[in-house]
Amino acid sequence: SATPHPVPAIQDKETPAQHDARMAWWREARFGMFIHWGLYAVPAGEWHGQRTTHIGEWIMNDLSIPVADYKQFATNFNPTGFSAHDIVALAKDAGMKYIVITSKHHDGFAMFDSKTDPFNIVAATPFKKDPLRELAEECHKAGIRLGFYYSQAQDWTAPGGAAAVRGTHNKETGHWDPAQDGSFDDYLKTKAIPQIKELLSNYKTAPDIIWFDTPTSRMTPERAAEVVKVLNQYPKLIWNNRLGGGYKGDTETPEQYIPAQGYPGRDWESCMTINDTWGYKSFDTNFKSTETLLRNLIDITSKGGNYLLNIGPDAQGKVPEPEVERLHAMGKWLAVNGEAVYGAKATLFGAEAGSFAPAEGNAKPKFVPAWEWRSTTKANRIYIHLFAWPKGSFHVEKVPRTITKAYLLADSSHKALKFTQRDGVLDVSLPEKALDPIATVLVLESK
């Protein structure tokens, strides 16, 4: 059995029923918006004529930008195009139920009004406003849940936050400038923990999620326990598995892939980018198609997880248009077919059912969209999300329920389709053409 934590977390103390109650809204939600927005939007992937080949928010580490130079970006950060109202409206229109935004990424720059450290958007920029406050208010009005991403174990501009061997340019921990020297414990005590407290108490309502990123070996059980003491004061808070120190948190967080079997018995959320970067990069135009994004959402839901899909606003605070377009298109599909996603549970046919080419292994980062269909489940309904349209009829075996009616969700009259079911083998007659080329949902009702 696991070693007991120095300080028990909420997950160690609550009953299964209390845990289910705390996770209920999150399990219902299925689809959330990740926002990577910070000072790295100013260089937008390029510094002194050099383009980073890595993700945009890592530019400081990737190009070994000295702390003082990086901090200079703040004097040019004036995102007057940012509208919390528009971003929340975009999330809502896309059918997303929650937002998780970077309050402080590895670069150490706080995107909120922090009294702890002046390296923040209110104190260090001409903008002078707190976008997280605006976001908190707009989310509250719109009924969208809000989470704050916080990089607790790595901070490249705070002394001690980027601790590694001096002089080693280490891509994982980042340490290349004497200004980064210092004690990790001091960093935790004087910056990370006070800022986490601020995030939990600055606004009218406490956030619904703290999304930690990402543990290093320095985040020992004893150090993590100091953070847990703070989290324990917020009994409704959901937090992920990236705190460190052996704390498992509430959610598994596969990044940029869909685990082939999901995580039976654990809540989980795949976070993914729309192009190839989290933080804005002016020259990354490798946007995934709406088809891929929507089928990712369906695939994830069919395995019992949530999809946290990222947008990367630019230095003006504007969301790149190709991202906006795709989110609107997803929302259009969800407006018709959302019933088969929100609150839906994993497939009854096994995670690989419907695959032409089953995804391999948990760690496989590549998305293989060669499927015929995916399935999600509710109490009296099985949903078959058809990606490829079968000729004449849909055939499936081992149906574990007695079906009483079959129809297409996108057919507003819910006209009954003819079907036969014998020994669990079901055949449903289909119209000639799919109602939606990306995914047409066949509903199988049972008593």
Point out which residues bind ligand FHN (CB under 6 A). Answer: 55, 57-58, 213-214, 255, 271, 278
- Taking a C-beta distance cutoff of 8 angstroms, is the pair 446, 404 a contact? yes
Least gap, CB of 299 to ligand FHN (angstroms): 19
Closer residue to ligand FHN, CB minimum distance, 65 or 442: 65
Q: What is the CA radius of gyration of the chain?
A: 23
CA-CA-CA-CA torsion sign (260, 53, 286, 41): positive
Closer residue to ligand FHN, CB minimum distance, 149 or 333: 149
Least gap, CB of 58 to ligand FHN (angstroms): 6
Closer residue to ligand FHN, CB minimum distance, 202 or 214: 214
Using alpha carbons, select from 365, 285, 376, 354 the residue that is nearest to residue 323: 285
- How many residues does this entry show for the chain? 447
Distance CA 138, CA 88 (A): 7
> Residue 14: how many CA atoms within 13 Å on its side-chain side?
18
- Taking a C-beta distance cutoff of 8 angstroms, is the pair 79, 134 a contact? no
Least gap, CB of 17 to ligand FHN (angstroms): 31
User: 234 is written with which tokens?
Assistant: 């917020």
Distance CA 232, CA 238 (A): 11
Closer residue to ligand FHN, CB minimum distance, 218 or 374: 218
Kindly compute the dihedral angle of the four CA atoms of residues 409, 411, 413, 417, in this order, to the nearest 10 degrees: -80
Least gap, CB of 278 to ligand FHN (angstroms): 5
Least gap, CB of 57 to ligand FHN (angstroms): 5
Closer residue to ligand FHN, CB minimum distance, 55 or 439: 55
Closer residue to ligand FHN, CB minimum distance, 144 or 271: 271
Closer residue to ligand FHN, CB minimum distance, 18 or 64: 64
CA angle 122, 126, 131 (to 5 degrees): 40
Closer residue to ligand FHN, CB minimum distance, 58 or 82: 58
Distance CA 252, CA 314 (A): 29
Least gap, CB of 388 to ligand FHN (angstroms): 31
CB burial readout 319-344, b (16+ within 10 A) else e: bbeebbebbebbbbbbebbbbbbbeb
User: 108 is written with which tokens?
Assistant: 């150490």
Least gap, CB of 141 to ligand FHN (angstroms): 27
Least gap, CB of 433 to ligand FHN (angstroms): 39
Least gap, CB of 128 to ligand FHN (angstroms): 26
Query: Which amino acid appears at position 348 of this protein?
Result: L
Distance CA 306, CA 433 (A): 30
Kindly compute the dihedral angle of the four CA atoms of residues 339, 345, 346, 347, in this order, to the nearest 10 degrees: -60
Distance CA 325, CA 185 (A): 44
Closer residue to ligand FHN, CB minimum distance, 148 or 419: 148
